[in-house]
Amino acid sequence: MATTNDIKNGSVLRLDGQLWAVLEFQHVKPGKGGAFVRTKIRNITSGKLVDKTFNAGMKIEMAIVDKSDMQYLYQDGEDYVFMDLTTYDQITIPAATVGDAKNFLLENGTATVATNDGTVLYIELPASITTVITYTEPGLQGDRSSAGTKSATIETGYEIQVPLFLEQGTKVKVDTRDGSYLGRVND
């Protein structure tokens, strides 16, 4: 058993038989009364966000999470097929578990897959990916980077906002956390 002192961002807690991922935590020591730990946690199966407070030093159960780098191979119906880079075993992950990460999954790209007792909990992508704009309206003469943005579709089919001067076929860097344009990539 662990205590609230062991809570860190990214750790997984087992509360009432369910797994919860810690998104944020803060140790608070008020002037009066006992110290406590304020957390923001997400239910791994349902995705529900909850603010929960624990008394300092309270015993909690930490779940053991195995993380391994895997290569995304292809989509099979609603499921996504990944290959473990060390054992070459292939696993199929349902779309509900992949979640919004599907917007940035490039074939043969790598992702970190977190498992607990053989069950896939979630997928972590790199902070950014390099992709190609597959469709966007053509830019007009005089368009500048500070003049505004337009919609562009990337290889995965996801739509992002890019500066007006970018054209179809341009390689760009995209933030996988919020889908924001980070810059143009030169070969």
Quick one: pLDDT at residue 167?
87
Q: For 127-140, what is the mean pLDDT?
A: 87
The class that CATH gives domain 128-184 is mainly beta
Instruction: Give yes or no on whether 2-62 and 128-184 have one common fold.
Output: no
- Output the pTM of the full model: 0.73
pLDDT tens digits, one per residue of 58-104: 999 999 888 899 999 999 999 999 999 889 999 999 988 888 889 99
Coil/strand/helix, residue 76: strand
What residue spans define the domains of the chain? 2-62, 66-124, 128-184
Domain 66-124 has CATH 2.40.50.90: no
Q: Are 90 and 39 in contact (CB under 8 A)?
A: no
pLDDT tens digits, one per residue of 24-44: 999 999 988 889 999 999 888
Quick one: pLDDT at residue 31?
87
Paired sense of beta strands 66-76 and 110-116, if any: antiparallel
Which CATH number describes the domain made up of 2-62? 2.30.30.30
